[in-house]
Amino acid sequence: MNRSLFFLATLLSISNLALAQQSAAAPAHHHAPATAKPSADKLWTDLLAGNERFISGKTHAYNVVALRRELASGQQPNVIVLSCSDSRVAPELVFDHSLGDLFVVRTAGNVADLVGLGSIEYAVDHMHPPLLVVLGHQKCGAVTAACSGEKMPSRNLEAIVDKIDPAVTQAKTYAKSDNLIESAIKENVHQSAKDLLANSEIIRDAVTAGKLKVIEAEYELESGQVVRLNPSGGQN
Ligand SMILES: [Zn+2]
């Protein structure tokens, strides 16, 4: 090797070294790596703490610009939320969490249809989040429509109501007419949680293996509070 080639080779290896050092010195990812996931219970406690901040109006001032840049290289959310599309029930807001924290699937009536299940399966398969929250809410329009028994004006709307109907049937076994909707809302959270396990092998396997916990909850519109429901079905 002549001297100029040797010089060039040395220069290249120095610049490679500098690049390697630069990437090693890059700031650690905001979220824990897949090997060190927090427990589902810890994540739920964090969600409730965020909900308390939301209720009191003392929410965190997230640096969304820094978060956005940091997360551009990849996401590692630890929580999946299946919630209603209702504009008053945005999970990131009601749990005072930010970009990259929650993998959210929203459908009217928080129903777990095929695409919703597929979206959740994607998250379970690729990001291994320890917690999945099914979040219903008071005065849900989709559940109210299902309780009305009226025919929907399109087959797409009918598809939503069809998914909620078993919850209405269950609620009718014990609820009086003045609290049928509220009971059906809770039953519908149970129904969605049951559908997740019954209709998805990936979700079922993760739960059976103890890698994923499903928590059922309801959001109260006026207070802003998220209340955990008993997963048994029936009254609670
Ligand atoms: Zn709703």
Task: Read off the CATH number of the domain in which 136 is found.
Answer: 3.40.1050.10
> Does pLDDT of 235 surpass 60?
no
State in Å: Cα 163 to ligand 1 middle.
13
Residue 223's beta-bridge partner residues? none
State in Å: Cα 177 to ligand 1 middle.
19
Higher pLDDT, 24 or 137: 137
Instruction: Say if 28 falls within a structural domain.
Output: no
The strand order across the sheet containing 131-137 reads 102-107, 79-84, 131-137, 213-219, 226-228
Placement of tokens 């009918």 in the chain: 158
State in Å: Cα 139 to ligand 1 middle.
7
State in Å: Cα 83 to ligand 1 middle.
8
131 HSE (CA, 13 A, CB side): 22
Region 214-236: mean pLDDT is 85
Instruction: Say if 1 falls within a structural domain.
Output: no
Going by pLDDT thresholds of 50, 70 and 90, the confidence category of residue 36 is confident
Instruction: Say if 17 falls within a structural domain.
Output: no
State in Å: Cα 54 to ligand 1 middle.
19
State in Å: Cα 197 to ligand 1 middle.
21
Region 72-98: mean pLDDT is 98
Please state the domain count of the chain: 1
Instruction: Say if 3 falls within a structural domain.
Output: no
State in Å: Cα 52 to ligand 1 middle.
21
SS3 state of residue 38? coil
Instruction: Say if 153 falls within a structural domain.
Output: yes
Instruction: Say if 18 falls within a structural domain.
Output: no
Instruction: Say if 25 falls within a structural domain.
Output: no
pLDDT of res. 35: 63
Instruction: Say if 49 falls within a structural domain.
Output: yes
Q: By percentage, how much of the chain surpasses pLDDT 90? A: 81
> Does pLDDT of 3 surpass 90?
no
State in Å: Cα 39 to ligand 1 middle.
29
State in Å: Cα 228 to ligand 1 middle.
17
Phi, psi of 62 (to 5 degrees): -70, 140
Which range is least confidently modeled, 115-124, 169-178, 225-234? 225-234
pLDDT of res. 99: 97
State in Å: Cα 10 to ligand 1 middle.
64
The residue ranges of DSSP E strands in the chain, in sequence order, are 79-84, 102-107, 131-137, 213-219, 226-228
SS3 state of residue 188? helix
Q: Are 214 and 196 in contact (CB under 8 A)?
A: yes
41 is in which domain, residue-wise? 37-228
Q: Does the predicted model carry a pTM greater than 0.75?
A: yes
State in Å: Cα 138 to ligand 1 middle.
8
